[in-house]
Amino acid sequence: MLKDFKQYTLTYSIILINVMVYIVSAWLSGNIVDMNLEVLVDMGALYGPYTVQQGEWWRIGTAMFLHGGMTHILMNMFSLYLIGRGAETYFNTKSYLSIYLFSGLLGGLASLYVHPNSVGIGASGAIFGVFGALAGFFLAHKDKIATHTKAFMKDFAIILGINLVLGFSIESIDVSAHIAGLIVGGIGGFLLSKNPKFLVLYNSLMILLIIATILYLPTQYVQITF
């Protein structure tokens, strides 16, 4: 058990942080199965009028660690458990962490763009980013690791199935965040598989994209309001 934790420290640490945040939200909600929406908003859920119109951009970070209920967090953490360990095997810690965080952040911004008045929560965008990174890795090395493709596709099917269930059962889950995370992670996985030194380039591009989106979103919200 300890050996396994040392091997996949980042994956298990992210899972632990999510679980701890969930415990706090459950305590504040007075319910361990379903979280109170007001509690989630107070803890940092995405909500366009607060995030964009009041400039509370920190919510794109905090929302990544909030979940709407027991089903939501269990399925997300199971997905991360499945793919996170693989990513931690193929990528160094800095690359993995960058892909996870940027996928989650840009997934959150995509959600704000598509659903300006909805409450958004969950690690799905970041998790899809990790999955995208693995897809990028396999694409970059497809001629060398063809034997692993079947196992990868099996995990892919499982995770798609999980998120299909979540999409139908949990209102606050947004497919746009999944797609954005997948693309961001795929780009990072491909680049960093080719050369880990591209990390600075990848980080710089993602930061510029975040800044550009943050500057653009208020103008979109003005159009929606009026």
Catalytic residue (one of 79, 172, 178, 193): 178
Nearest-angstrom CA–CA distance, 61 and 103: 11
Pull the structure tokens for residue 173: 């889950």
124 catalytic per annotation? yes
CB 98 within 8 A of CB 107: no
**DSSP conformation letters of 71-112:** HHHHHHHHHHHHHHHHHHHHS-HHHHHHHHHHHHHHHHHHHH
Pull the structure tokens for residue 53: 């119109």
CA dihedral 56, 212, 111, 92 (to 10 degrees): -100
DSSP 226: -
Nearest-angstrom CA–CA distance, 96 and 104: 12
Catalytic residue (one of 29, 95, 111, 124): 124
176 catalytic per annotation? no
CB 67 within 8 A of CB 18: yes
Query: CB burial class (10 A; 0-12, 13-18, 19+) of residue 1?
Result: exposed
Contacts of 210 (CB under 8 A, 6+ apart): 102, 105, 106, 109
- Residue 113 vs residues 3, 127, 207: alpha-carbon distances, Å: 42, 20, 17
Catalytic residue positions, numbered: 124, 178
